[in-house]
Amino acid sequence: MIEDYTHQWEGIPVVPFNPEKTLDCPNRIYRIAYSWNHEERGGFEKQFATYLSDPKCEETVGLSLGLNDETADTFYDDVVKSVISNRVKFPKLRWLFAGEMLSEDSEITWIEQGDVGLPLLGSFPNLEELHVRGCGESFSKVKHEKLKVLVIQTAGLDKDTFEGVVSSDFPELEVLELWLGCEERDADVTVDDLRKLFNNNPFPKLKVLRLMNSELVNEIAKEVAIAPILDQLEELSLAFGVLQDHGAKFLLESERVKKLRKLDLNHHYMSEEMMSKLEVLGPEVDVSGKEEADRYDDEVCYYVAVSE
Amino acid sequence: MRLVVLGNPENRRIRLFIRACRGLGMPDPIVLAWSDYLKDERALLDVVDSCDVLRIESPGENAEVNSQLVARGGDLPFSTSEFDKGRIGQQRSWFDGFSSVLKRLKELVGGKIQFVNDPDEIVLMFDKLASQEWLQSRQIPIPKILGTSAGSNEVFELMHRHRVRRVFVKPRHSSSASGVVALQRLGSRVLATTSARIEGKNLYNSLVVNRYHDFEKVRYLLDELSLENLFVERWFPKLSVYGRIVDFRILVIAGRVRHVVARGSQSPMTNLHLGNTRCDLDLIKENLGETLWEDVIQVCEMVAASFSGCLYIAVDLMVSSSRESIAVAEVNAFGDLLPNLLSEGEDPYRAEMRELIK
């Protein structure tokens, strides 16, 4: 369900890094990744050393960190740590994607992230966007004056990470995207945890809230539909989850939801009838990706979009 | 020109083929049933004198023919009962039977009749390892072959030795992704994605993709499949477009790329019958860019040239996720059953026969 690599950010093309060519920063953003087709380029460490030695390195505005290695014993945390320990080489870094891999590179649960809160965000005070893909990260709370977009994509988000994010101080944060995942992948954020965010939103400038890829989406829909946070939002996404009619009906009945500009419910298990009702609700609604439940004998199974 | 087709008469391949011949104003081909030929090879000799060309069609989707080929390969065939339906196994003996039958066929009528596709080359295409090695010897890009394996220990040992965490494990003689395993291992974690389903002690082909996370089960799966000769190749990370993993089935006829299907999947198994979809080819081509597509065409035509005894060949081709390179996943002798797919206004059978009578 993760569609593709990032191809551009703010009009700047994001391209694969080729260690044999010199950097063209700030006109290009590079994705440093082990390449199946260029084993001679080596893994992340080797390529990153080349990147750092280029005089244009300090002009870097964005960086994507892809597949680190093809070997069986490296963990992704080391990649992020390398970038942190070279923070002085990236004074102008505004966009960072840690773990930009598609399922054909690595399954999301196999990307083992470390603490992407204070150690990472604290190291890059000019960062405006942070995207993190992978599981097992933690998030120690941090104050960051410039962060506008925070995206954490997992198949199972843990309570500590969630608490770390919502107790952080992000005065400029406009977009918050959290993939909550499923219990089987150790997701343990509860609806009670989320209610705190809905009722006491700590981010004054938040406009876009995406609570995606969640097994709890029906309960979340019920809570969020009556939550004060909606009054400041332009866009709400409950995409990639297991939304069914019994959850969606709370969205349909909500005056607050009606006033949103955009409602993204892509990947769901709703009926055609519910889909057509939602489409005329008011906001621009995405109800694409209608899924059919799997049936095994007496058991009916609903799956989030990214769980492997 | 008079054609004889060796095939299973009840199969839609034959029906569609006859329709194509009629469309070209050719006389109806003589259809010789595999089951009749396997009972008595003189059935072919009887028609050879009145025909100029022999088209060998798939013996598949016919339980009786399948059992006969397995028996020729020296095995006791599975029963045709519901219990054994879709059971994986006997691929090796099926191949031994099929290859001996085709070799004998060539001895019998070779020189007396023209083959649409040469029997030896058809046999080569049913040996997935040998055909990949053959392509490699002709400088055609394929995923790197790490080795053959007699069991799960050897598979893991190969992964360890080559320091890779993702491989494809393939039965040497399977078709349609039967028994293929996309295997990943990182430390103590393992994941096998496969169309094979473990049920009791047996393995069955299933129409959905199964995922096994448990070492015991993965070992059992690999050990059972190893009875059929496995080889292990590196996992070639395939192109993702619009949220789907994509590869291509490309039919080359008379040396020229004709019918192309972009197969989209939400799992590493892109074979169409596993609940996957045909994608919009024009959109994908546009996404890939012209240069890369020209490379795709060139590689397919190189493949066709390396099977010079075949009028047509179906190439399964992959473009890498980085869009930097391409590789041939496999070649198929009977991969031209692509219903409702037209190239220059012709379906595959019509295009093949028009080239033949040119």
Peptide bond into B348 cis (omega under 30): no
Nearest to A104 among B185, B208, B245 (CB): B245
Contact A308 B325 (CB under 8 A): no
Range of the domain at B102: 3-115
Chain B contact set for A110 (CB, 8 A): 184, 186, 189
B window 292-351, beta carbon within 8 A of A: 320-322, 324-325
Domain presence at residue B127: no
Say what the pLDDT of residue A74 is.
64
Report the alpha-carbon distance of residue B81 to residue B87 in Å, rounded.
11
Q: Residues B56, B32: contact at Cβ < 8 Å?
A: no
In this structure, are residues B224 and B200 in contact, taking their beta carbons and an 8 Å threshold?
no
Please name the helix (run of DSSP H) or strand (run of DSSP E) that holds residue A274, with its range, or none. Answer: helix A272-279
Q: Do A73 and B266 touch (CB under 8 A)?
A: no
How do B230-234 and B166-171 pair as beta strands?
antiparallel
Evaluate if residue B190 carries a pLDDT over 60.
yes
pLDDT at A299 (0 to 100) = 85
* Token pair in block for residue B222: 């690999």
Total structural domains within chain B: 3
At B324, phi and psi to the nearest 5?
-95, -25
CA pair distance A262, A285, nearest whole angstrom: 6
> Could you tell me if residue B206 is inside a domain?
yes
Sign of the CA dihedral running A100, A104, A107, A110: negative
Considering the domain architecture, whether residues B212 and B312 belong to the same structural domain is answered as no
Q: Establish if B135 belongs to a structural domain.
A: no
CB within 8 Å of B63: residues ≥ 6 apart:
B80
> Which of A5, A36, A70 lies closest to B165 in CB terms?
A70
Cβ contact, residue pair B191, A38, below 8 Å: no
Rounded CA-CA distance A190/A211 in Å is: 12
Domain end (from B216, B234, B252): B234
> Tokens at residue B308, please?
């010079």
- From the CA of B5, how many Å to the nearest CA of chain A? 41
- Rounded to the nearest angstrom, the minimum Cα separation between B253 and chain A is 29
Nearest to A104 among B211, B240, B324 (CB): B240
Compute the average pLDDT of residues B36-61. 94
Instruction: Look at residues B75, B94, B115 and tell me which one is the last residue of a structural domain.
Output: B115
Are A36 and B234 a contacting pair at CB < 8 A? yes
Do residues B230 and B312 share a domain? no
Note whether A1 contacts B243, CB cutoff 8 Å. yes
Q: Which stretches in chain A have pLDDT values below 50? A: none
Q: Which residues in B lie closer than 8 A to residue A38 (C-beta atoms)?
A: 324
- Please name the helix (run of DSSP H) or strand (run of DSSP E) that holds residue A121, with its range, or none: helix A118-121
A111, closest residue in chain B (CA to CA): B186
Residue in chain B closest to A102 (alpha carbons) equals B240
Residue B137 lies inside a defined structural domain of this protein: no
Whole-angstrom distance, CA of residue B265 vs CA of residue B285 = 17
How are beta strands A294-296 and A299-301 bridged, if at all? antiparallel
Identify which of A72, A103, A294 has the shortest CB distance to residue B186: A72
In a domain, B36, yes or no: yes
Residues B171 and B220 in one domain: yes
Residues B285, B224: one domain? no
Residue B246 and residue B221 in one domain = no
Residues comprising chain A, all counted: 308
Same structural domain for residues B158 and B212? yes
**3-state SS string for chain B:** CCEEEEECCCCHHHHHHHHHHHHCCCCCCEEEEHHHHHHCCHHHHHHHCCCCEEEECCCCCCHHHHHHHHHHCCCCCCCCCHHHCCECCCHHHHHHHHHHHHHHHHHHHECCEEECECHHHHHHHCCHHHHHHHHHHCCCCCCCEEEEECCHHHHHHHHHHCCCCEEEEEECCCCCCCCCEEEEEECCEEEEEEEEEEECCEEEEEEEEEEECCHHHHHHHHHHHHCCCEEEEECCCECEECCEEEEEEEEEECCEEEEEEEEEECCCCCCCCCCCEEECHHHHHHHHCHHHHHHHHHHHHHHHHHCCCECEEEEEEEEECCCCCEEEEEEECCCCCCCCCCECCECHHHHHHHHHHC
Q: Is residue B123 part of a domain?
A: no
Return the number of CB contacts < 8 Å for A and B.
Answer: 68
Last residue of a domain, one of B73, B94, B115: B115
Residues of A in contact with B163 (CB under 8 A): 70-72
With CB atoms and an 8 Å threshold, state whether B237 touches A102. Answer: yes
User: Mean pLDDT over residues B27-34, rounded?
Assistant: 96
| CB-nearest partner of A4 from B187, B240, B320 | B240
Name the DSSP class of A51.
H
Of A254, A287, A284, residue with least CA distance to A271: A287
Report the amino acid identity of residue A141.
K
Residue-level pLDDT at B275: 62
Out of A19-23, B217-221, B267-271, which region has the weakest mean confidence (pLDDT)?
Answer: B267-271
Residues A149-163 as b/e (b if ≥16 CB within 10 A, e otherwise) read bbbbbbbbbbebbbb
Please give the Cα distance from A112 to A117 (Å, whole number). 15
Is residue B242 situated within a structural domain? yes
What pLDDT score does B268 carry? 75
Take residue A152 and report the two structure tokens written for it: 């954490």
Distance to chain A for B169, nearest Cα, Å? 16
Q: Which residues contact B205 (CB under 8 A, 6 or more apart)?
A: B86, B87, B88, B178, B179, B195, B196, B197
Touching check for A303 and chain B: CB below 8 Å?
Answer: no
Q: Do B240 and A37 touch (CB under 8 A)?
A: no
Q: How many other CB atoms are there within 10 angstroms of residue B40's CB atom?
A: 10
| Subunit contact B236:A36, Cβ cutoff 8 A | yes
Residue B334 belongs to domain with CATH number: 3.30.470.20
Q: Mutating which of A37, A38, A68 best tests the B interface, going by the most B Cβ atoms within 10 A?
A: A37
* B227 and B308 part of one domain: no
Give the minimum alpha-carbon distance from B288 to chain A in angstroms, rounded to a whole number: 13
One domain, residues B15 and B104: yes
Q: Are A44 and A100 a contacting pair, CB within 8 Å? A: no
Residues B245, B353, single domain; the answer is yes
In angstroms, the Cα distances linking A153 to A94, A127, A212, B45, B82 are: 19, 18, 8, 66, 44
pLDDT for residue B82 is more than 80: no
Are B104 and B61 within one domain? yes
Instruction: Band the pLDDT of B78: cuts 50, 70, 90.
Output: confident
Nearest-Cα distance to chain A for B357, in Å, is 42
**CA-CA distance, B265 to A239, in Å (whole number)?**
20
The answer on B70 and B11 residing in a single domain is yes
| The predicted structure's pLDDT at residue B271 | 64
Residue B268 lies in a domain: yes
B278 in contact with A, Cβ within 8 Å: no
Mark whether B93 and B59 lie in a shared domain: yes
